[in-house]
Amino acid sequence: MSRCDKPLFRRKLAEGDLEACWDDTFEETAFTLSKGGRVIAEMQMVDTGDALSVSGIQVSRPSDRKKGLGTRMYEQALAFACQKDMPLVSDSKRSEFAEAFWRKQQDKGRATCVKGRGRLYEFPMRELKKKVSAERFRAMVEKLPKASPAGWECNRYEIRKPCSVDSLAGVKRRRGPR
């Protein structure tokens, strides 16, 4: 069942069915990834005039975290930015999860830091803390970056030439002896 009034496209992914639509209410492009009729991830993008900004990604259930769904949504944003021939940028207000993603992209040479201070978006962490045990919460967030009281070091991150990037996924490391 479509959640869109004005669908832009629909496509099948390994993780589920992706639908993108224009949302008149919020003046943004909304992406919904669903599997078996259940929404498992959502993303919002805003056209700033000179770039497409990912303003939010939500993974529906804590059990769906750490499965690459956020990265998969960012890859769809990258493809959309490439199609529009526009840079892809982060929001200046980012959660610890978004900051970790963008720092990895910067470390891999895919994204650059735009100087200035970004702000911490606390809602995702507060919601996760309510939904999982304290032990599981600590395990899920222990490796995430922590914002300073002044915020994140980068105002935002940007991928200037989205069509030149093949994937945003990490390189899988082999474990154990070769």
Q: What is the pLDDT of residue 66?
A: 75
Is the whole-model pTM more than 0.85? no
Q: What residues contact 33, with CB distance under 8 A and at least 6 apart? A: 13, 15, 16, 17, 18, 39, 40, 41, 42, 69, 72, 73
Nearest to 31 by CA among 55, 48, 67: 55
More confident residue, 127 or 7: 127
Which amino acid would we find at residue 82? C
The domain spans of the chain are: 6-162
Contact 89, 158 (CB under 8 A): yes
Average pLDDT of the chain is 86
Q: What are the start-end ranges of the H helices in the chain?
A: 69-84, 96-107, 123-131, 134-141
> Worst-scoring range by mean pLDDT, 17-21, 78-82, 92-96, 111-115?
17-21
Rounded to a whole number of angstroms, the distance between the first and last alpha carbons of the chain is: 47
6-20, 34-48, 53-67, 143-157 — which one is most confidently predicted on average? 143-157
CATH classification number, 6-162, choose in 3.10.290.10, 3.40.710.10, 1.10.150.120, 3.40.630.30: 3.40.630.30
pLDDT band at 173 (very low <50, low <70, confident <90, very high): very low
Q: Which residues 6+ apart lie within 8 Å of 48 measured at CB? A: 89
Rounded Cα distance, 170 and 101, in Å: 10
